[in-house]
Amino acid sequence: MPKALEQLVQEREATRDIAAKGLQITAEVIMNKAIQDRSFDSGWARLRLSPKSYSLPSTRKFALSPRYTRAFRILEAVGKGNALRMDLPAAWRIHQVISKIHLDPAPSPDDDPYQRNLPPPPDHIDEQGME
């Protein structure tokens, strides 16, 4: 192989290595930003479902399946804080520790999104459902 061709091949490989490292760093920055921007202060999160990451055992066709689950309680942060241990049903056969990338923050199920003042329940109700 001529020296000029060898030099060209080496320069091309060096350029590929630099580009690959740049892409890897960019992907890490984007992922870290996506993880850090989400606040799970409410203590609840919902699992984002997709055929490539998580799906429920009962779903056969993704087009008709739900995109999110209901809100589940966050038990603890795991590792460097990029994953959360969730209180998921055992019947789902999904590991309890899930990356924050696959989760969306959710309000507590007890919180009223409209912040309404509900009247207190009646003290006594007879057989006909009247007070």
Per-residue pLDDT of the chain (131 residues; tens, 9 = 90+): 688 888 888 999 999 988 888 888 887 777 666 666 677 888 899 888 876 677 666 666 667 777 778 889 999 989 887 889 999 888 888 889 998 888 888 888 877 777 788 777 777 766 665 55
Domains held by the chain: number = 2
Amino acid at 24: Q
Same domain for 54 and 87: yes
- For CA atoms 23, 26, 67, 53, the dihedral sign is positive
**What is the extent of the structural domain holding 75?**
39-109
| Phi, psi at 81, each rounded to 5° | 95, 5
For 99, the enclosing helix (H) or strand (E) is strand 97-99
In a domain, 22, yes or no: yes
Alpha-carbon separation of residue 5 from 8, 53, 62, 86, 128 (angstroms): 5, 44, 51, 56, 95
